[in-house]
Amino acid sequence: MKKILITFLSIVTLFSCETTPTKKEEKQESSATQLKAIEKDTIQKIDEQEEYNSKCSILSEMPKDSAISSLISKTTRVEAIMFKMIRNKNRAIDILEREAYTQIENNKIILDSIIKRVNLDKKQIQDIFNTLFRYKGKNTQGKACYSPRHVLVFYNQNKIIAFLEICFGCKDTRSYGVEFTDFCDEKWEKLREFF
């Protein structure tokens, strides 16, 4: 009987030692749990920040910037052009400035191959200015391809005063005449509607 009791106590002690973690093991387990919680919290904060950054806030009125006011007051016509990009070896390329796809010669837009060309009506012109200047947010960019296929051209009578060349693939732009900024996700979506 004594032998059975000693064997029983040995087995119980053995199992209780295996299942009861030591203080060191408890600290390691606690640290691992805390790290997982911190990691989860950090990922959630990054996701929230990215979501916040891509959201637009809409200004109640046009900004009081002189360049913007000048463009709006001088613009008599806006043309939305969709074009096919053909890489031309004779075209000057500046890697830092991006290739100049849209060029102006003799007050005309020179593009490789125009697919569609539309003159916006007065309401669309007002909408394009609202989209460009009232939608504000952090710039969002996709992949770094810069292969533009769209351009908005702003005219005063028949003279080109500005353009905005757009690559929807990488969410990047190049402009002439005025600087266009704050391209948040909603702004990108609204711009697509004009083409």
Angle, helices 122-134/66-74, rounded to nearest 10 degrees: 170
Per-residue pLDDT, 15: 57
The mean of the pLDDT values for the chain is: 76
Is residue 99 within 8 Å of residue 93, measured between CB atoms? Answer: yes
Phi, psi of 106 (to 5 degrees): 50, 45
Span 67-104, pLDDT tens digits? 889 999 999 999 999 988 655 554 444 444 455 677 77
- pLDDT grade, residue 30 (50/70/90)? confident
- Does residue 32 surpass a pLDDT of 90? no
Identify the burial level of 173 via C-beta atoms within 10 angstroms of its C-beta, where 0-12 means exposed, 13-18 middle and 19 or more buried: buried
Phi, psi of 164 (to 5 degrees): -130, 110
For range 186-194, the mean pLDDT:
92
- Same domain? For 66 and 28 the reply is no
Who wins on pLDDT, 194 or 99?
194
- Same domain? For 164 and 128 the reply is yes
For range 132-137, the mean pLDDT:
88
Who wins on pLDDT, 95 or 60?
60
CB-based contacts of 35, cutoff 8 Å, min separation 6? none
d(CA 191, CA 62): 17
Residue written as token pair 């002690």: 13
- Same domain? For 76 and 43 the reply is no
Which helix H or strand E contains 67, and what residues bound it? helix 66-74
Per-residue pLDDT, 163: 93
- pLDDT grade, residue 1 (50/70/90)? low
Which of the listed residues 27, 54, 81 is the one where a domain comes to its end?
A: 54
d(CA 65, CA 133): 10
- Same domain? For 74 and 137 the reply is yes
CB-based contacts of 111, cutoff 8 Å, min separation 6? 81, 83, 101, 102, 103, 151
Range of the structural domain that residue 180 is part of: 58-192
- Same domain? For 109 and 29 the reply is no
Per-residue pLDDT, 27: 67
